[in-house]
Amino acid sequence: MGSDAASDRVLVLNPVSGSGDHVDEVAELAAEHGFAVRQTEEGGDAKRIARETAPDADLVAAAGGDGTLNAVVNGIAAADALATTGVAVVPAGTGNNFAANVGIRSIEHAFTVIEEGRRRSIDIGTANDRIFVNSCVGGVTAEASSETSPESKESLGVLAYVKNTIETVGSFESLPLRVKTAARPNGERTQAWEGDALFVLIGNCRRFTGARTAQADVEDGLLEVTIVEDTAAMELLGGAARERLFDGDSDCIVTRRTPALEIESRRDAVEYSLDGEMLETEHLHLETNASALEIAVGDAYEPDPDADGPHWPFET
Ligand SMILES: Nc1ncnc2c1ncn2[C@@H]1O[C@H](COP(=O)(O)OP(=O)(O)OP(=O)(O)O)[C@@H](O)[C@H]1O
């Protein structure tokens, strides 16, 4: 499979994402819609293929989960082609959080969206020298992530990792962090937070608390930051209290909206998950790159998910 000739439309196909039974359907639909299909053979391939093909392609589609999309966007950025190459997402992963957040329901629906859907320019996040599209999560260990069952991942997405970690709280270490959020143009000043965190959750397209929707505003040039303080450990153990926590109705939650932030560990390196791909570092600089990615979106996608109500975070 695959072609070496330059093509306007390229589809990067991860054959092992999700349950791994999507290959034939994706390859068939991709060919029908004029895509040159390039299948990955090992980790790292998706980024490399995107980097090599992006300069000559109008559109690069990522068929896989959030990790595949992350790799494709990082590859296009490495080719310095984000301004000229659009992206499409074909959901064939376990969680498909990003696809759901931009209104794409299924593999077949993704191709309808490619042909007929709106194109939006959305923000991307950068974490040190890497890009994330959906979220950056610290405090959820790689082990917790790999132990999370596909069923749990499907219904809860990233929160499944959080839940899983909470349920194995005995082996869990809190993170002594210093977090500094940047000033905003509207006059909000730089804010600092220092303490022990259970989790630090940064959403670009994804939100974690106080949510009527799991989709964050991804065109506002801001990241949504949620810090779950360690004092929440006891609260997290009770089911009802846990629900309150993720409704944002808890004293142990710090929420901020910011274009940039610094997270510094006061002890060892911290493991962060960028759209499910791991990064270990003591110091993380995060910022948004506003309107940097052109993407095909489904009808259910809301440019401003808070348009009909109060804006996140909802606390006073
Ligand atoms: N051909 C391949 N063989 C083995 N691993 C691969 C291959 N292609 C990609 N990978 C690995 O797959 C991972 C990405 O998987 P991805 O996140 O897209 O799917 P998922 O984990 O099933 O879904 P989700 O992230 O939505 O839960 C990357 O870590 C990458 O290294």
Indicate whether 303 belongs to any domain: no
Indicate which residue's Cα is closest to atom 11 of ligand 1: 43
Q: Is the CB of 276 under 6 A from ligand 1?
A: yes
Same-domain pairing of 146 and 261? yes
Atom of ligand 1 nearest to the CA of 93: 23
Specify the number of domains making up the chain.
2
96, 214: one domain: no
Q: What is the pLDDT of residue 291?
A: 97
Distance 168 CA to ligand 1 centre (A): 25
Residues 103 and 228 reside in one and the same domain? no
Q: Which of 111-125, 153-167, 203-217, 271-285 has the highest mean pLDDT?
A: 111-125
Is the residue at 297 inside a domain?
A: no
Residue 282 is assigned to a structural domain of this protein: yes
Tell the residue nearest (CA) to atom 14 of ligand 1: 67
Instruction: Tell me, using a 6 A CB cutoff, whether residue 135 lines ligand 1.
Output: no
User: For residue 225, what are its two tokens?
Assistant: 């930051």
Q: What is the pLDDT of residues 156-188, one digit of tens each?
A: 444 555 666 666 655 567 889 999 999 877 777
89 in the same domain as 196: no
SS3 content of the chain, % helix, strand, coil (to 5): 30, 35, 40
Together in a domain, 229 and 111:
no
Distance between Cα 146 and ligand 1 center (Å):
12
pTM score, whole prediction: 0.88
We report the CATH number of the domain holding residue 23 as 3.40.50.10330
Q: Are 6 and 56 in contact (CB under 8 A)?
A: yes
List, in sequence order, the alpha helices (H) in 54-189.
66-78, 97-101, 107-116, 142-147, 150-156, 158-167
* Inter-residue contact 20 to 75 (CB < 8 Å): no
Residue 72 C-alpha to ligand 1 middle, in angstroms? 12
Same domain, 156 and 100: no
| Same structural domain, 81 and 151 | no
Look at residue 308 and tell me if it is in a domain: no
* Residue 314, in any domain of the structure: no
Lowest mean pLDDT among 8-12, 41-45, 87-91, 183-187: 183-187
The CATH number of the domain holding residue 191 is 2.60.200.40
Whether residue 166 sits in one domain with residue 245:
yes
Ligand 1 atom at shortest distance from the alpha carbon of 157: 27
* CA 6 to centroid of ligand 1, rounded, Å: 25
**Do 256 and 218 reside in the same domain of the chain?**
yes
Q: Is residue 20 part of a domain?
A: yes
Task: Confirm or reject: Cβ of 21 under 6 Å from ligand 1.
Answer: no
Say yes or no: 177 and 263 in one domain.
Answer: yes
Tell me if 42 is assigned to some domain. yes
Q: What is the pLDDT of residues 19-43, one digit of tens each?
A: 999 999 999 999 999 999 999 999 9
Q: Whose CA is nearest to atom 18 of ligand 1?
A: 65
Q: How far apart are CA 214 and CA 211, in angstroms?
A: 6
Whether 130 maps to a domain, the answer reads: no
**Arithmetic mean of pLDDT, 210-227:** 86
The pLDDT score that the predictor gives to residue 50 is 98
Asked if 143 and 73 sit in the same domain, the reply is: no
Q: Longest C-alpha distance within the chain, in Å? A: 58
Q: In the prediction, which pLDDT does 162 show? A: 61
Q: Which atom of ligand 1 is nearest to the CA of 277?
A: 29
Domain that holds residue 69: 9-117
CA angle, corner 256, sides to 148 and 297, nearest 5? 65
Judge if the beta carbon of residue 210 lies within 6 A of ligand 1: no
Residues 72 and 107 in one domain: yes
| pLDDT tier, 148 (very low <50, low <70, confident <90, very high otherwise) | low
